[in-house]
Amino acid sequence: MSLDRLIEKIKETENPSVVGLDPKLDYVPTFIKEKAFEKDGMTLKAAAKAILTFNKGIIDAICDVVPAIKPQAAYYEMYGYHGVKTLYKTIQYAKEKGMFVMTDGKRNDIGATMEAYATAHLGTTLVGEESIDAFGADALTVNGYLGTDGIAPLLKICKEKDKGIFVLVKTSNQSSGELQDLKIGDKTVYEVMGDMCEKWGAEDMGKYGYSGVGAVVGATYPEQLEEMRAKLPHTFFLVPGYGAQGGGAAGVAKAFDKNGMGAIVNSSRAVMCAYQKGGYDEKDYALAALNEVLRMKKDITDAL
Amino acid sequence: MSLDRLIEKIKETENPSVVGLDPKLDYVPTFIKEKAFEKDGMTLKAAAKAILTFNKGIIDAICDVVPAIKPQAAYYEMYGYHGVKTLYKTIQYAKEKGMFVMTDGKRNDIGATMEAYATAHLGTTLVGEESIDAFGADALTVNGYLGTDGIAPLLKICKEKDKGIFVLVKTSNQSSGELQDLKIGDKTVYEVMGDMCEKWGAEDMGKYGYSGVGAVVGATYPEQLEEMRAKLPHTFFLVPGYGAQGGGAAGVAKAFDKNGMGAIVNSSRAVMCAYQKGGYDEKDYALAALNEVLRMKKDITDAL
């Protein structure tokens, strides 16, 4: 267990950012959609195939300059089991291209059921005598509301398979404070959750000083980012909310340690929909995504 | 929005219990597995098909005496997109048989992404000019850690489509107290979450006095069940943890109001694996499930 493979990919690409692949059908260029509809009609199957084509185009364009992708499960489930097949194929394609894949599923449940989620997304499923990757991601986002026995099954599989998790600590949305900012004694709920991340991660530390248990801390709350960076020295941060949600580079810089490590910043819509801005032909959506990714890399690394 | 359709099914069957379909391949009788392996080898596809056959057998046996099923998404995701196809087909089959279907996914995310989950599991997905059920359940379990803007998209779809949600309040697992029992002022975290359920549900109350926003409260904590029943008069309870996890009928009785309504009790493994106990031939797994369901119904209603 650890996030060392992710950290190494970040060093290799000199880019602490991740592209969120949250592909609504609206984001997919018309020429891709039309071709899919022609073949399979206006069906979930056609939608799912169009999204896969779109994702592959983006992955091809960015795989040498971005260390990781973060597909968001919701946008695949929206297209039913066909969409979930596209999630699987997207994960496999990105891995073939050498990328680190973090499935954003925010999964959570009690022991035996959490074991099934861990097996599904990070482990291998036993069928008769065969062990098979059901999805085969490198990391999974999870929700720690159920406490240690909702996390322990993940830690076991992370150790066995050299994979990691990211636990929701302080989310990027406006109402995140309704529960997360409330005080338990002299700590907030998100601080309590952060402390649990340090505790869960202590079992197996990676060689760069970060454990396999990361935390999700939103770019939209720079003060909390800075505070949590100081308090959770062994917890790697996944930082959503940069760009479309309003988080800026100066803010996200606070997620990093003094060596410019310890965090990865996500951008989804701004990359996927880059072609819709700035006068691109929709056929050049992948080039537009690449340009946005390079702009973002410079924006963040300049701020570090 | 409301859980009225569920309440009416409970009245009709005079049975406040739900069967959790959490089918590990180990639970499936050998004759079903062998047939599937013969056709498709030891593959995720074969496993998923075997599980669908198993589920249909149980649904056929119980659909007239049990109001609802609760498929747990984790156990389907474990078999990859083939497993997720079985989830879809299980939901559709149970609905055809007149059952109310609660997908246990404990989904959670911020606004736009939660909207995608709501669309996926409760709403309809727009593809070109077609509106299609991606999964089409009647209710979904969710995690409220992200606050109101992670719940609002669900409420909108629940209103439009007459569907409901169940928010995790006090879960049935041993470590649930690590966060949920901590004190925020004079309230516990789970009480704060319970209050949010009442607030979220207030927008649209059903005709039986319960809103479309239910709560998950574990059978393994009877004191908290009793306390929450008193404090959350408009919140319908989904009660896991009966049977295999150790919750007894006297305990779960505390989840009900003075009219014997207001809650539904889940049992999963004890029903699915009933044939493994008590000397059944494995071919009679569905009969064994029916007998266990009837025993459970009597156990719970006797305690009310």
Domains contained in chain B, number? 1
Which amino acids of A are annotated catalytic? 106
DSSP of chain A: --SHHHHHHHHHHT--EEEEE---GGGS-HHHHHHHHHHH-SSHHHHHHHHHHHHHHHHHHHTTT-SEEEEBHHHHHTTHHHHHHHHHHHHHHHHHTT-EEEEEEEE---HHHHHHHHHHHTS-EEETTEEE-SS--SEEEE--TT-GGGTHHHHHHHHHHT-EEEEEEE-SSGGGHHHHTSEETTEEHHHHHHHHHHHHHTTSB-TTS-BSEEEEE-TT-HHHHHHHHHH-TT--EEE--BSTTSB-HHHHGGGS-TTS-SEEEEE-HHHHTGGGTTT--GGGHHHHHHHHHHHHHHHHHHH-
B112-125 confidence digits (pLDDT tens): 999 999 999 999 99
Q: Is the pLDDT score of A127 beyond 70? A: yes
Q: Is the pLDDT score of A104 beyond 80? A: yes
Confidence of residue A279 (pLDDT cuts 50, 70, 90): confident
Buried b (16+ CB within 10 A) or exposed e, A221-239: bbebbebbbeebebbbbbb
Q: What's the domain range around A87? A: 4-303
The mean per-residue pLDDT over the stretch B53-70 comes to: 98
Q: What is the SS3 string spanning B162-197? A: CCEEEEEEECCCHHHHHHHCCEECCEEHHHHHHHHH
Percent of chain A with pLDDT over 90: 92
Taking the alpha carbons at both ends of chain A, their separation in whole angstroms is: 28
**How many Å apart are CA B147 and CA A174, to the nearest integer?**
9
Q: Any residues with CB less than 8 A from the CB of A229 and at least 6 apart, and which? A: A237, A254, A255, A256, A257, A262, A263
Helix, strand, coil percent content, chain B, rounded in steps of 5? 50, 20, 30
The mean per-residue pLDDT over the stretch A170-191 comes to: 93
The mean per-residue pLDDT over the stretch A38-65 comes to: 98
The pLDDT assigned to B245 comes to: 75
The pLDDT assigned to A133 comes to: 97
Is ipTM over 0.85? yes
Q: Which of A125, A150, A171 minimises the CB distance to B173?
A: A150
Chain A neighbors of B148, CB-CB under 8 A:
175, 178
**How many Å apart are CA A86 and CA A88, to the nearest integer?**
5
The pLDDT assigned to B291 comes to: 97
Q: Is the pLDDT score of A194 beyond 90? A: yes
Distance (Å) of CA B256 to CA A74, B227, B276: 34, 11, 31
Token code pair at residue B44: 């995720």
Confidence of residue B279 (pLDDT cuts 50, 70, 90): confident
CATH number at residue B36: 3.20.20.70
Q: Are B173 and A74 an interchain contact pair (Cβ–Cβ within 8 Å)?
A: no
Q: Using CA of residue B41, residue A48, residue A165, residue A191, what is the dihedral sign?
A: negative
A131-140 confidence digits (pLDDT tens): 999 999 999 9
Percent of chain A with pLDDT over 70: 100
The pLDDT assigned to B246 comes to: 77
A–B: how many Cβ contacts below 8 A?
A: 224
Q: Are A189 and B168 an interchain contact pair (Cβ–Cβ within 8 Å)?
A: no
**How many Å apart are CA B109 and CA B43, to the nearest integer?**
32
Name the packing angle between helices A111-121 and A152-161 (round to 10°). 30
CA triplet A257, A162, A293: central angle to 5 degrees? 50
B162-190 confidence digits (pLDDT tens): 999 999 999 999 999 999 999 999 999 99
The pLDDT assigned to A247 comes to: 80
Residue B194 Ramachandran class (φ > 0 left, ψ -120 to 50 alpha, else beta):
alpha
The mean per-residue pLDDT over the stretch A275-285 comes to: 93
Chain B neighbors of A20, CB-CB under 8 A:
none
The mean per-residue pLDDT over the stretch B39-54 comes to: 98
The pLDDT assigned to B1 comes to: 59
**How many Å apart are CA A177 and CA A192, to the nearest integer?**
14
For residue A275, the Cα-to-chain-centroid distance in whole angstroms is: 22
Q: Of the candidates A37, A144, A23, which has an alpha carbon nearest to the alpha carbon of residue A87? A: A23
Is B139 in contact with A85 (CB distance < 8 Å)? no
- Kindly report the length of chain B: 304
Q: Is the pLDDT score of A150 beyond 80? A: yes
Q: Which of A44, A109, A177 minimises the CB distance to B74?
A: A109
The pLDDT assigned to A41 comes to: 97
What values do phi and psi take at B161, rounded to 5?
Answer: -110, 5
The pLDDT assigned to A1 comes to: 59
**How many Å apart are CA B104 and CA B68, to the nearest integer?**
12
Q: Is the pLDDT score of B278 beyond 80? A: no
Query: Chain B interface, mutation test: which of A90, A113, A180, most B Cβ atoms within 10 Å?
Result: A113
Confidence of residue A60 (pLDDT cuts 50, 70, 90): very high
Confidence of residue A38 (pLDDT cuts 50, 70, 90): very high
Task: Supply the DSSP symbol for B281.
Answer: -
Q: What is the mean pLDDT of chain B?
A: 95
A223-273 confidence digits (pLDDT tens): 999 999 999 999 999 999 898 777 889 999 999 999 999 999 999 999 999
Query: Chain A interface, mutation test: which of B86, B92, B113, most A Cβ atoms within 10 Å?
Result: B113
Chain B neighbors of A183, CB-CB under 8 A:
184-185
Distance (Å) of CA B226 to CA A128, A287, B132, B233, B302: 44, 59, 41, 11, 18
The mean per-residue pLDDT over the stretch B59-74 comes to: 98
Q: Is the pLDDT score of A95 beyond 80? A: yes
Q: Are A117 and B146 an interchain contact pair (Cβ–Cβ within 8 Å)?
A: no
B1-39 confidence digits (pLDDT tens): 579 999 999 999 999 999 999 999 999 999 999 999 999
Q: Is the pLDDT score of B244 beyond 90? A: no
